[in-house]
Amino acid sequence: MHGTHTGSDLQAVKTTALRDGDHYVINGSKTFISNGSHCDLVVVVAKTDPSQGAAGVSLIVVETGTPGFERGRVLEKVGQHGQDTRELFFADVRVPVTNLLGAQEGLGFYQLMEQLARERLAIASVCAGMAEAAVLEAVKYVKQRQAFGRELWKYQHTRFELAELKAEVLSIKTTVDHAVQAYIDGNNSPDIASMAKLVAADKGVAVVDKCVQFFGGYGYMMEYPIARAYAAARVNKIYGGTSEIMKEIISRAM
């Protein structure tokens, strides 16, 4: 879990875990924590040595029943209402030093960086699936919706627009598949994973947006899956590293 106002800047974590004998004393807060309501075990990103920047970050496991741990309110998101997001607070939370992940302190930054490619590939895969589902929903709708006496599907413009979107979905899936295969083959490359997330998130959101248009006013009603997809899709360009951060990572490898 990243600290408040931290996001992709892992070195800016403000939560601290200071050694006190055989325990760490954890103080700080976390925000935008997915599934914060359900977890009974959390991995906290904290500064065990605030003077060392990235080298002073560690990962520490905390059981949610530990005194001093509290859950904040459930945050009201634009979309993805089936998955809660909330704040977590730590006030003098004491845990044994054996709860440290890794052989020694200060490895947290590297442990996180090792897993970021995997997270970004997971999000990219979701984006690909969401884009494909949106096109399928649009095709189904235009084949049964009538305008001016005939189905929308019978208008060449409609078919051409959907043909283009279907091709776009294939290009997204191909990019994601390439990056996932590279990861499976042992190439845990940050720039390849970042390219997959950048393409899948940006193009995927655009595909869903275009699919909404086929539904007219119904596409703006939350009872329709396409409207819920529209609300849920936008955050893919933000969490797991913003599209701007993806560009920065890719450019560093050029």
**Measured CA angle at 194 (ends 43, 50), to 5 deg:** 40
Q: Catalytic residue numbers?
A: 119
Q: What is the dihedral of CA 103, 109, 110, 113, to 10 degrees?
A: 140
What lies within 8 Å, CB to CB, of 182 at 6+ separation is 189, 192
| Cβ pair 17, 24 in contact under 8 A | yes
Phi, psi of 6 (to 5 degrees): -90, -55
78's enclosing H/E stretch is none
102's enclosing H/E stretch is none
119's enclosing H/E stretch is helix 108-142
